[in-house]
Structure 1
Amino acid sequence: MGVAENGAEEKLGSYERIQSMHEAERERKKEEIRDACSDGDIAKLVELADSAGGILDDGLRQKAWPILLGVSEPAAGWLDGDKCWQRKPAHRDEEQVQLDVDRAFVYYANDAPEKVMEARKQALFRLIAGVLRRHSMLCYFQGYHDIAQVMMLVLGPGCGAALDRLSLCRIRDYMLPSLTPALQHLQLVPAILNAADKELAAHLSMPHANYALPSALTLYAHDIQAYSDIARLFDFLLAHEPLISLYLFAAIILSRRQRLLAIPQDENDMLFFTLQKLPQPLDLESLIEEALRLFDQHPPESLPGRAWRQISHDSVLKTSRSITAAQSLESTERSFERQAREVAWQETKQKALRTAFKYRRPITSTALAVAMGAVSIWLRKSGNDRVLLAFVLSGFGLIRSR
C-alpha cells in the first residue's frame, strides 16, 4: 500500500488542491480511471493523468502506472517472489547503491519507527540491485535511488518489472557509462526557451545547461519534498515520452521570467543558482499545462539550432517517442549497447583531436626535422651538401646573397 493511501505520512502540497475538488467530480474521475485501467485504454489514462489531480491516489496508481510503463499485465509488475536476481553476480555499483540507500527517505515516509525505516531501506536496496543484476549493462547514478524510492512507496517493494521498464524505456541514457548523452539532453532546454521566449533565452545565454541536471536525472524526485506532489508529477511524467521532463523544466524557467530578468546577465553564478533550485511551492497543475503547451507549439523537430539533431538515433528520447508503441526490453538493451559504442567512439575521437591540438607544434617541428634530415642525406649523396649549407646559413642571415 502506498504512503499516500495510508494518509499518516501525507505531506502538504497538491493533496489540499485535490481535496478541493467536488466529491462527486472526484468519484466520477476515479471511476473513469478504473475503467481506463480495466480496458487498457492508454490514451484515456494519459488524458486523466494530465487533468487536475492526476491519478488521484496510490490505489489507482498501482493499477495505472504499470500500464503507462508498458508492463504487459498489472500483476507482472510485481516481483515479490522473484529471487532469480539474487543468484546473479553482484553488480559493480552495488556499494554506491548501499551508500545512497542509507541516506534515503529524507523527505518521504521519514517519520516511521526505526525498524520500519530499516526494513524500507533493505527493500529499496533489493529493488535497485534486482534491476541492476537483471540488466547488468546499466550504470547506476546517484539519484536513481530517489526515483526507485518513489516507485516503491507507490507500487510496493515488488515493483521490479515496472522499474525495469522505467529504467530502460524512459531514463536509460542516464544509465550509460558516460554522462555525455545526459548533457546533450540538457541542451534542449535553452533550445525550447529560444523558441518560446527569445529575450529570456538571450538573458540566460550560457555555454551549457547543467543547472537542469539534478532535476532531469532524478525526474525531480531529488528536489520535490512533498510526497503528494512527486506522486502527482510522476502521474504526468509516466503518461508521456521522456522528452516531457525537459519541457517541464523549460516551463518552470518561464514561470520565473521576471525574477530571472531582474538578475544582471553577467552574474552567472546567481543565475545558475536560481535556475538550479526549483521554486517552492511548485504550482504543478499550471506547470503541467504550460509544459504541454510548449511541447505542442514547439515540438523537438522544430527547435532552433542543432540540439535535437545531435541526439543519437538510439537515444531514449528518439526510441520512446510514443508510450503506446510496444517496446521489448531486449530491443531497448540493443539500443543501449549501440549508443554506448557510439558515445565511446565519439569520446575517443574527441580525445585524439585534443591530443593532436595540444602537441601540434612539437609534432610539426619533429616532422620538419625528419624531412630536413632526409633532404640532407640526399644532398650529401648527390654531392650538393654545400648547397644545403649555404641555404641554412642564408636562412640564419649569416651570409649575404650577391
Structure 2
Amino acid sequence: MKWFLKLDKSLRQYLLVTFNYWNFTITDGALRMLVVLYFYQLGYSPLNIALLFLFYEIFGVVTNLVGGWLGARIGLNRTMNIGLGMQVFALLLLTVPSEWLTIPWVMMAQAFSGIAKDLNKMSAKSSIKTLIPNNQQSKLYHWVAVLTGSKNALKGAGFFIGGLLSTLVGFQVALMIMAGVLAMVFVMSLLFLEGDLGKAKTKPKFSQMFSKSGPVNILSAARLFLFASRDVWFVVALPIYLASIFGWSHSVVGAFLASWVIAYGIVQGFAPKITAYFSKNGATENGTAPNGKSAMLWCSLLAVVTGILALAIHLEWQVQWIITIGLLIFGAIFAINSSLHSYLIISYAKQDGVSLDVGFYYMANAMGRLVGTVLSGWIYQAYGFAACLWIAFAFLLITSVISLKLPESSKV
C-alpha cells in the first residue's frame, strides 16, 4: 500500500478508477452469461431471454443521459461509487430462491444492473479527460485504448467465469460470490477515490444534458448504429445458436465467447499502433491522432466483412468454420472501430463538465445496445441467424454514411 500512496496523484486516481472498472466489468460479463444460459436451460425462448435484458438497456439509456449531468455536479467519484453499490444490490436480488425468479423480478434486477454499469462506465471514461492534459492527444488516445481494451478483455473473462460458475456452483451461489468480491471493491473505492474528480466548475443545468456539440451528436448517432450492429447477432442469437445448433455445453459456449471478447479487448488496447500502421491518420510517434475519416474507413471495412459473413451463413456454406473464424475477424475490426470512437468522444468533449458530452454519447451507445438486444431475440426466433447478420450489415452501412459527417480534425 505504501508504494501506491507514493505515486503521483493523477496516476493513483487513474489506477483506482481502472481497478474499479475492471472488477465491475468482470461481474457484468459473468452476470450476462449466467442469465442467458440459466434461463435458456429453463426453457425460455430467445425472445423472452432478450426481454430479460430490456430494462438493463432502457435504464442504461436514461442513466447515461442523467449520469453525465450528475457526474458534472457531484463528481465522478460519487457516480462511480453509486454504480458499484447498485451492482452489488442487483446481484443480491438474483440470489433469491429460483421460484422467485420471474421475468418481472429478473427485469427489475437487470434494471439496477444497467444503471450501475453505465454510471461506472461513464465515470471511468470521463475521468481520463480530467487526468490527461488537453494538448496530449496521442497520449489520450493511448490511455483510452488501454482502458477500453482491458475492460473488454476482462468482460470476456467474465463470460468465461459466468459459464464456469454456472457449471461448478450454480446460478445463486455464483451471484453471491460475485456480490461479495464487488462489495470489497466498493469499500476500497469509498476510502481512496478523490472527491473532486470530474466536478464541473459551474453547476450545469438539467437542460444541459443534451449535447449542443455537432461533432458529439454525429459521433453519437454513428455509435448507436455501430453497437446495434454487434448486439443484433451477438447478445442473444449467437450463444443460443452455438448451444442449440452446434450442441455446445454451457461451459464451452462461455469459454468460446470469453476467448472472443478477450481477444477483442487485446486488439482494442493495440488500436493506436494498428491504426498508425494502416493509415496516415492513425496515432503516430509525433503525437498526431485519428480523426473522423479514420472512423468512416474502418467502419466501411467492418460492413464489407459482415456482408460476407451474412452471405456465407445465408448460403449455409461451411457454417461452423465461417462463424468461428469470421467472428474473430469481425471482432478485431469492430474492436478498432470501438477504440477509435472511444477516443474521439473524449477528444471532442468539453474539458469542463466532460461527463455531460460523454454521458450523452454513451446514452446513444446504450440505445444501440437496446435496439440490438431486442432485435437479436426477435429476429433470430422469427427468421434465423443469417437474418441477424443482414440487419447488422445494414446498420453498418448507416454508420459509415453518418461517419462521413465527422470532422477531419480530432480537435474541435
TM-score normalised according to structure 1 size: 0.24
Max Rg structure:
1
